[in-house]
Amino acid sequence: MQTSVVSAYIIGIVVFIVMLLIAAVVANVIAFQPGTNPSDPRKRKTWFWILGFLTPVLTFLLAFSIVYTGIRMRNVQEKYMTAMCISTVLSFLLYVVSGFMLSKIFNHGKLHHWFS
């Protein structure tokens, strides 16, 4: 039972890391645009938040489909559901906080546009 709850958090962490990596790759793939009102910072920010909102959704869906559906005992199900919800929220918060930190660390690079 204990292992099952941990898996909800592991899924949340894995999803947050993968989504953040994808967001970083997407940000770097988007080329710098010329002009006085370049569209690339807006695109990076948009993609960051799209992937950010997908993070809790994916966390929840993955945990639900991989682990939750296999749990038969009702009280375990309830505990896992609670862990899934916490993991979902945590994955989103971790994604946003880590994104914010990366944006400030690489403040002259493309990741800066996530929070500019």
Partner 1 sequence: MRCLESFVHLCAIGMFDNEEINILTLDTDQTNGNKGRVEQLIDLYQKVKSEKPENIDGGSPNANTFFSAKINLYRFFTDYNATERKTFQNLSQMNSGTTEQKEDNRELSELLLDEGVRNFALDHGYRAQTHLGSMLMYNGIVEAARSVAADKSKAKSQDKELAAFATKLAQDASNAMVFVFGSVFGGTGASSIPVIPVALTEAVRIVSGGSQSLDLKVVKFGATLLTKYFTFKAPDKSQKEKEKIIADASNFALNSQAALQFYQADPTVKSCYKRLYHIGWPINSIDFTEDNPKTITGGAEQKNDCHVVELLSACAAYDFFTLSKFGNQQAQYLYRSADFSGSGFCFEGSDFVGNEKGLIFENKLGAFLSFAHIVLSVNGAALSNSHGTMGFLERFKAQDIKDYEQGITEAQANDIDEYMKWFAYDYSNGSLTRGWIYQIYKSIKPGRFIFKPSAFTENAKELRDMDPGNLFEDDKHNWDKGGVFSSRYNNYVKTLIDQRCKPKKEQNVNTTKERFLAHIYNSITIVQKFNELN
Select the residue interacting with partner 1 from 11, 20, 27, 41 (CB under 8 A). 41
The dihedrals phi and psi of 71, each to the nearest 5 degrees, come to -85, 130
Select the residue interacting with partner 1 from 37, 70, 74, 75 (CB under 8 A). 37
Instruction: Tell me whether residue 33 or residue 82 sits nearer to partner 1 (CB atom).
Output: 33
Instruction: Work out the widest C-alpha separation in the chain, in whole angstroms.
Output: 60
Please name the residue ranges forming H helices in the chain. 2-29, 40-66, 74-105
Instruction: Tell me whether residue 10 or residue 22 sits nearer to partner 1 (CB atom).
Output: 22
43 touches partner 1 by CB under 8 A: no
Give residues 70-109 in contact with partner 1 (rule: CB under 8 A). 107-109
What lies within 8 Å, CB to CB, of 105 at 6+ separation is 111
